[in-house]
Amino acid sequence: MLMTASFIWGMSYVAQSIGMNHTGPAAFITARFLLGGAALLPVIFAPALLANKKYDGTAGARFGNFPLRSGIFCGVVLFLLSYIQQVGMIYTTVGKAGFITTLYIVIVPVLGLFFGRKIRLLVWGCAFAALVGMYLLCVNESAPLNKGDLYVLVCAFFAAVHILMIDHYSTRVDALRFSAIQFFVCGGIGLIIAFLTETPSWAALWAARLPIAYTAVMSSGVAFTLQTVAQRRVTPMIASLVMSLEAVFAALTGWLVLRQVLSAREFLGCAVIFASVIAAQTPDMSERGRLSRGQLS
């Protein structure tokens, strides 16, 4: 599920870039997440409607209680990371933005230490190896840091916080309703910011309709819901490593579909990231011993 989400996010870079040619970052985020939340409503209400029953708040739910408070909290963080990244990409290159954003690979375990999470030494090593691979893949210029890079660095922090919040709430709430609530909260905040800082128009949104539609339905509605469901079964550290594959999928998609040439350095970066993700999910020696003893018994 996380790899599928990463693939969808990797393909969304082009859509986001094209969309920003027509509208401001807040307006784009508003349209994307409000439409993404709306796209989930038929899936949430469909079981009750097909059964010809009044929706009682439980139809289609599989886990937990109504996720209003958790959805609001995550929606605020989702807006911060999305908006700050969109603004930062105005001033920096896509390659540098992709690399800096993936610093959440290291930020997640560091923040996890404050909550008593113990990270295996192998996983720490895989995280830093993945960062090296990300640098080889994404950064091809020697331009100095600018304010756009700093914006994206702040985005990486909020991305790490969002991953940890999803880990905390994912087993307590229904994924679909939780995702819809956080999307509506994110889009609602974006609407306020758009009218305060931009001049949104229907004409601009219509011009960006295809990028908005893809990022709303696939990147938001599908991918973020997959993330919520998948994080019930994996640790935040492993989740952050797998989700960092979005940069690899973005590069490979450009190579296969758009015929964009990848250098040997970039292929090496892809290989290092893939190897790091796979290695991080291998059990340590004590776990292998327990598994072996369990199989023998």
| For residues 277-292, average pLDDT | 54
| Average pLDDT over all residues of the chain | 78
The answer for 235, left when phi > 0, alpha when psi is -120 to 50, beta otherwise, is: beta
Of 266, 247, 209, 255, give the one whose Cα is nearest residue 15. Answer: 209
What is 35-59 written as a DSSP string?
HHHHHHHHHHHHHHHHTT----S-T
Give me 79's structure tokens. Answer: 């807006």
Give me 49's structure tokens. Answer: 């409607």
Mark out the alpha helices in the chain (DSSP H runs): 2-19, 25-50, 68-91, 94-101, 104-113, 121-138, 147-169, 175-197, 202-207, 209-214, 223-230, 236-243, 245-256, 264-280, 285-296
Give me 279's structure tokens. Answer: 């290695």
- Count of Cβ atoms closer than 10 Å to residue 105 Cβ: 26
Residue 66 has pLDDT above 70, yes or no: no
Residue 196 has pLDDT above 90, yes or no: yes
Q: Are 269 and 134 in contact (CB under 8 A)?
A: yes
| pLDDT tens per residue across span 129-158 | 877 877 777 666 655 667 877 888 898 899
Q: Are 141 and 98 in contact (CB under 8 A)?
A: no
Which of 90-99, 173-182, 202-211, 261-270 shows the lowest mean pLDDT across its residues? Answer: 90-99
> Which of residues 296 and 183 earns the better pLDDT score?
183
So what's the pLDDT on residue 206? 92
